[in-house]
Amino acid sequence: MCDTCGCEGDSPVTYNKPNEEHSHDEKHEHTHEHPHHEHPHHHDHDDKHHSHDPKHEHGHSHGKEIKIEQSILTKNNSLAERNRGYFEAKNIFVLNLVSSPGSGKTSLLERTLKDIGQDLNFYVVEGDQQTMNDANRIAALKVPVIQINTGNGCHLDAEMVNKAVKQLNVANDAVLVIENVGNLVCPSLFDLGESKRVVVISVTEGDDKPIKYPTMFHSADICIINKIDLLPYVDFDVEKAKNYALSVNHHLKFFEVSVKTGEGMEAWYAWLKDVEQHK
Amino acid sequence: MHELSIATSIIEIAEEFAVKNKGANITKIEIEVGELSGIVVDSLEFALELAIEKTVLERAKIIITTIKGMARCKQCGNEYVNSDWHTACPQCASMDFDITGGKELQIKSIFIE
Ligand SMILES: Nc1nc2c(ncn2[C@@H]2O[C@H](COP(=O)(O)OP(=O)(O)OP(=O)(O)O)[C@@H](O)[C@H]2O)c(=O)[nH]1
Ligand SMILES: [Mg+2]
Ligand SMILES: [Zn+2]
Ligand SMILES: [Zn+2]
Ligand SMILES: [Zn+2]
């Protein structure tokens, strides 16, 4: 966000493939004049469904009311549906990987690509605010990848994925893994058109993560509990974490893994290879 | 701060609306935000305040209404307030419920003159 006014305009989203020079910027028009006039906002944090502004009941009218009843996420949702249609037509299985920063999304991907990269045709979209680091880690494994840098944006959205996927040129019948920006809050609201949403937590985080960030756990299909090699050193109760997660979403399916030692990875691979079944 | 992108979407919808309605002057906009929508009302307000400058909402009155999270118990049919996704049914203690309200994130009405 820019320091002057808090807008996102100053940091364009960029799309880069490792070892390619140019980047495709989305140009944002932006000026920094902020004249200060008054804007009379007012809000009610009312518990009732229909709150009317009491101060204005008798004052001047606000004109003619036109019912809109339109979801604010309409634009993203319809673009996500368009992505989904495209993926379905090309029989591409798409995962949206979300987690707090550092839970091990890229490590999980790297190990997965090393272990079963021969069996499935993988493509990767990396989302981070800055750097090509994660894309470079994937490119080192000779897997096609594109890095989206969101600048100050805290999540990927359907439009970014749409643009990235066009540049990636994903083959039919492939598996596309989208690693979202490390953040357990914002990405939960933005459908990308994925087939399944995978939330990763690591045992170095609290076991109450699922109820601290319920919106994300509610929206996910799969929950991977990573870094179980560290269980002897931390107070993380796996059963408790699972029960918390189930309390916000009883459809969640779990994998307990250590990307480092490889423990538990076979079950995850079996699920992935069975993609046809959960498309 | 995804509230910023939400604020931007609200303004986009309002601008499209104004164009469709031949440049009507928007005097007021009513927004509904559910407790389970993942949006923090205060942050949204803050974001809107910054974002509406020089837009069709610049002079509009902005009313944000919070809607309670609601669940219906699948065991006993009780409908109750569930503001955090994981409140058990107060009547039978079951955790088996459907969320029936509180996910809203919508523009309810626009007022023009
Ligand atoms: N002990 C242990 N460390 C792990 C494991 N998996 C990942 N790590 C470490 O955790 C750190 C973060 O891993 P990343 O894969 O970069 O995490 P990420 O989720 O991609 O992070 P962001 O992209 O920044 O959100 C690295 O130092 C990894 O080596 C694991 O199973 N066990
Ligand atoms: Mg990463
Ligand atoms: Zn600015
Ligand atoms: Zn955010
Ligand atoms: Zn009940």
Q: What is the pLDDT of residues A176-214, one digit of tens each?
A: 999 999 999 999 999 999 999 999 999 999 999 999 999
Q: Is A233 helix (H, G, I), strand (E, B) or coil?
A: helix
Find the residues whose C-beta lies inside 6 A of ligand 1. A 99, 101-107, 128, 134, 182, 226-227, 229-230, 258-260
CA dihedral B95, B99, B103, B104 (to 10 degrees): -150
- The domains found in chain A, sorted by start residue, are 74-269 (3.40.50.300)
Mean pLDDT of A37-57: 46
The two tokens of residue B18 are: 């104004």
The minimal CB distance from A7 to the residues B46, B50, B96 is found for B50
B85 contacts on A by Cβ (under 8 Å): 211, 214-215, 218, 247-249
Query: How far is the C-alpha of A44 from the C-alpha of B50, rounded, in Å?
Result: 19
Q: In what order do the strands lie in the sheet with A175-179?
A: A14-16, A145-149, A122-128, A175-179, A93-99, A196-202, A222-226, A253-256
How sure is the predictor about A48, in pLDDT bands with cuts at 50, 70 and 90? very low
Nearest to B29 by CA among B109, B102, B88, B97: B109
Q: What is the pLDDT of residues A75-102, one digit of tens each?
A: 999 999 999 999 999 999 999 999 999 9
The per-residue pLDDT for A275 is 76
A59 contacts on B by Cβ (under 8 Å): none
On whether the CB atoms of residues A132 and A17 are closer than 8 A, the answer is no
B2-112 CATH choice from 3.40.50.300, 3.30.2320.80, 3.30.470.10, 3.50.30.30: 3.30.2320.80
The minimal CB distance from A72 to the residues B13, B27, B86 is found for B13
Chain B interface includes A252 (CB < 8 A)? no
The minimal CB distance from B62 to the residues A41, A45, A71 is found for A41
Contact B108 A67 (CB under 8 A): yes
Distance B83 CA to ligand 5 centre (A): 16
On whether the CB atoms of residues B70 and B81 are closer than 8 A, the answer is yes
